[in-house]
Structure 1
Amino acid sequence: MIELEKKDFQHVKSLLNEENHHFPLLKSVISHNIEGRIFVDELNPQKGCQSALIINNMGWAYFLGREDNDDFNEHVEEILKSFASMTGNLANNNPIIWFGISDYWRGRVTERLTTDVQDYPRMQYIFNPEGYQFGGYTKDDTNFHYEIAEITEENIQQAIAFNESIINFWQSKEEFLKKGFGYIVLDREKIISQSISASVEDGEVEIDILTEQDYRGKGLAKIIASRLIEKCLGEGLIPKWDCIVNNTPSRKLAEQLGFEVKKEYNLSIINL
């Protein structure tokens, strides 16, 4: 097993395919927009690599390539077992959150490493522009009593204080302001809802939304998501939606905004 230097991260792109290319935050590690580590079986300039393990700064894991790679798989187990003792961004004894985990790997983990594995199937959506209807508001709408603002250098610290996802998904606030975008809803000067681009990769934008508990049920998520979608469409980008299967409000909102179910896939939280 080899741990790649950042300059070599692009070598794992050859392992992206129809089954795994829809993970924007995986690709954010490859493109250095989010901190992470990449382990491969080999680094051959001619053949590339055959198997790879990617772990980002939040402990989100992805496996790419061949699963019948016994020597590499043994090393993967060692990486997972030593996860809690890793230094830097991967410390703090956080669980591993494995996106797209296969039946093979889930079985291997529970048999050889731990039985503390919690499954949270997720739904992947695809955006249908023809089904999209603007869910925002106009300035003439007297029923809307809040202010919407784009996240800028002037208010980004306030946005981070409301929701640290900007720092989690981007290397720094400067990187977010340079490559990402987002909006906030304010009640007077208090942020009550926020929607950001969790990633911008290959012309696709992963949407992340949070509304304060006391303000939910007022349609703010739809309004702020619409503003983000409008920004995507205006810049020729494709909005992306992804959520846990049992998150009914998120699924309903996705459908209202023109997203259609593409497939269900596995996610497991692994406590070692």
Structure 2
Amino acid sequence: MIMELHKMDFYKCKSLINPQGQLEVKAVVEGVNPGRIFVDNLTSPKTGLVWLGNNDGFIFIGNEENERFNEQIDHFIETAIQPEALKVGLHWFEAIGNHPNWNKTIENIFQHRKLGSWNQKVYILEKHDYRDENEPVIKQEYSIKKLNKVLFESPIENIDFLHAKISEFWSSPESFFQWGIGYCAVHNEKIVSVCLSGFFVGNVHCIDIETLEDHQGNKLAQKIAHHFVQDCLKHGMVPYWDCMESNKPSIAVAENIGFTNTFNYVGYEFPFV
């Protein structure tokens, strides 16, 4: 029987995590970022499914050959996860393996589903690879600000945009300001681009960037990404960039800054209904 693990017991899953795998699952297990974990055994789990708190996927961890878990997981998803996912507006199940051996297992378990897939690329930036000469010059009408409590509580026109970005990844603003860092571009007292720590573990910050559509094409994402990277490197932190292989603009920004592709993985998806 598959059961949900209490947050205070997440530590029991540490041995199931692939050290070379996704940062996001480490952040959930460590209790830094929100998420839920479903396992085969509450006392000594061998296999688990991590539901990322930002609803950006489900990551399978541990033993991919656990027959008992594999036989039950599809029914569990349909009866336990699907109803809750639909309530929060999630209509697709995105399955990711924490190590490559999960790929074949995921394909077998969900072969009766309308299963699609995509490729994901992960980049890391080391200090000696940073290309500061490529930091762009932006229009004077934009100003760059570091995310802090004063800005978070300011009466800026669309402060809800910043609040939503932080709550997407973090259980509270306090958690973000304790662990995360971030920068934004402001135009006429309006936040138009944000770059912040989506997930954080140890000394590694996973970058999330969003620019409002009306302000795209002004190199704002590149500019605030440079500020984010500079802050990380100054304090001995490692910037981590995870994006879809098909997202060519994101890859171009990462490589222009000096990020190096360290590993890739496959994501799978199927509709709930």
Give TM-score, length-normalised by structure 2. Answer: 0.86
Residue in 2 aligned with 1:30? 29
Would you say 1:175 and 2:175 are equivalent positions? yes
Tell me, yes or no, if structure 1 residue 214 matches structure 2 residue 214.
Answer: yes
2:1 matches 1:3: no
Q: Which region of structure 1 is more displaced relative to structure 2, 8-17 or 51-60? A: 51-60
Q: Distance in 2 between matches of 1:92 and 1:246?
A: 24
Query: Any gaps of 5 or more consecutive residues in structure 2?
Result: none
Which residue is equivalent to 1:196?
A: 196
CA-to-aligned-CA distance 1:142-193 (integer Å, 9 cap, x gap): 9533111111223226454257231111012222122212111011211111
Q: How does 1:6-85 map to 2 (within 5 A)?
A: 6-20=7-21, 23-44=22-43, 48-57=44-53, 58=55, 60-82=57-79, 83-85=81-83
Aligned-partner residue type, residue 64 of structure 2: E
Residues 16 and 63, structure 2, Cα contact 8 Å, conserved in 1 = no
User: Does residue 151 in structure 1 map to residue 147 in structure 2?
Assistant: yes
- 1:104-253 equivalent positions in 2, closer than 5 A: 104-111=105-112, 114-115=113-114, 117-134=115-132, 135-136=134-135, 144-156=140-152, 158-162=158-162, 164-253=164-253
Q: 1:151, 1:159 within 8 Å by CA — same for their partners in 2? A: no
Identity of aligned residues (%): 27
Relative distance call for 1:102 and 1:160 in structure 2 (3 A) is farther
Alpha-carbon distance between aligned partners in 2 of 1:167 and 1:253, rounded to the nearest angstrom: 25
**Distance of aligned partners of 1:127 and 1:90 in 2 relative to their CA distance in 1, 3 Å threshold:** farther
**Paired residues of 1:182 and 1:228 also in contact (CA < 8 A):** yes
Q: What is the rounded CA distance, in whole Å, between the counterparts of 2:61 and 2:87 in structure 1? A: 20
Mapped contact 1:85–1:93 kept (Cα < 8 A)? no
Q: Whole-Å Cα distance in 2 between the matches of residues 142 and 85 of structure 1?
A: 46
Q: Runs of 4+ in structure 1 displaced over 4 angstroms?
A: 157-160
Alpha-carbon contact 1:36-1:54 (below 8 Å) kept: yes
Q: Are residues 5 and 143 of structure 1, via their aligned partners in 2, closer, same or farther at CA, if it must alter by over 3 Å?
A: closer
- Offset from partner CA, 1:197-225 (integer Å, 9 cap, x none): 10111210000111122222222111100
- Residue 95 of structure 2 corresponds to 98
* CA RMSD of superposed structures (Å): 2.3
